[in-house]
Structure 1
Amino acid sequence: MTSSFPALDIRAPHGAGPQAVLLDMDGTLVDTEGFWWDAEVEVFGALGHVLGEEHRDIVVGGPMTRSAGYLIEVTGADITLDAVRDLLNAAFLRRLERGVPLMPGARDLLTELAARSVPAALVSASHRTVIDRMLRSLGAHHFAATVAGDELERTKPHPDPYLAAAARLGADPARCVAVEDTPTGVASAEAAGCRVIAVPSVAPIGPAPGRTVVGSLEEIDMALLRTVATAPVPRRVTGPAGAPAVP
């Protein structure tokens, strides 16, 4: 599956609800954040290094390059970034062969979006090979567009992935609702101007103006999406390189 889609013609009346819903993958729709950590522990263990739990919150939800680079730095592992990324992707894909557990409420949310003709996009820091494998479980037909972390020069926490997803759907980011589970993902979506529903997984996410925090996807329905979509979004502060301030 490719990530190139023609822009859709979305003409929902203003205030009727979100033009589109933009969804993170790992830890949001699929219960795989633990898979990534297990893969990292396995790969660095084979290199002779033990990863402590104190590193887990730092790498969770981050792009592969940042997470792998950080782990190389703190362990001093004698391996290149490209090599460790290949090993991590391979270890993660092996775990997917055992089955991909969906998060509670994921299937119902995707089904409701389709039934209400609300376009959905998958926006992930994972690589294209991982996303395409995951779509077998999620159902590729649920998504009008997908954005992978290795397809952009900058991925989360920069706004680029969510801006790209909205553009591919022909939607205004300010009228999109993003659903995320990590502070890194939330920062990316908010920097893009999206309204955000946070469903914290491994790392906690605090409340903030314009952000809705829920305990599970099971709490997200069209009524909540409409409420979030019509709420004002405060201006976000970004750093000098365009990266948002992570809460």
Structure 2
Amino acid sequence: MTFESTYRIEGMTCAACVASVDSIISKVGDVEHVRVNLALEKAVVRWKVGAVENHLAVEEAVNRGGFFASSMPTPQQIREERISAVRQQGWKAGLALALAIPTLIVSMFISDLGSSNGMNSNWLIAFLLSLPVYLYLGQQFHVGAWKALRGGRANMDVLIHLGTTTAFAWSALVVFEPMLSFLPSIFATTRHVYFDGSALIIAFVLLGNYLEGKAKLQATDAVFSLMDLQPKTANVLDDNENTTKTPVGEIEPDTLILVNTGQTIPLDG
């Protein structure tokens, strides 16, 4: 007889992540089939007939792939965690935008503020404004990218990391070129920096994550509302056709239950 296990999978951001998790778990011994759900952040694993459930092997394989697998928490725990995550995503997105927009303004629209130690003051201010966005607020993308690359795959984090790092590193070398005499002459003749692009990319992705988190929270609340409609007990029929009210969670498969006219069906199977 086959049986299934459910795992919570954290770190998935797109369809490519779903495919990666599916492929990773499918390679674990004795796994027959895998269903991965991005919105619910879970994977349902069907084991082969006679197999022994191996939680540790699944969790280790998923963790090596750059994600995080754990046993499925209760619905209430999931809701509380999502509320906390949405709040964190909200202030991160707000702070990133609060720093990225001035970076854009000082880089593109404010007239020349002169120089400091040979360095363009506008560019230096843009560097200081975008530095916390790149290093702190964008840390999750950089870490996620390296985990993905170590696992031999590419995801959205890799694209964000490559784009923002290239823009930020190039611009930083242009700003500090007067202090780094060993740099090629191209850095001295360049007239553009891209701190604003690096900061805005991170800010907009964080904003998108925040909006996605709010949508997931609303979906979770809708699921809870439907769950509240499910009866908590069922009328179990014994061999003498007598009924006993029994909590739904205690009813075994193949048990006969009585559903009266107009009553909500408490469970199936």
TM-score, with structure 1 as normaliser:
0.27
Q: Larger % of helix: which? A: 2
Using CA pairs below 8 Å that are at least 6 residues apart, which structure has the higher relative contact order?
Answer: 1
TM-score, with structure 2 as normaliser:
0.26
Which structure is larger by alpha-carbon Rg, 1 or 2? 2
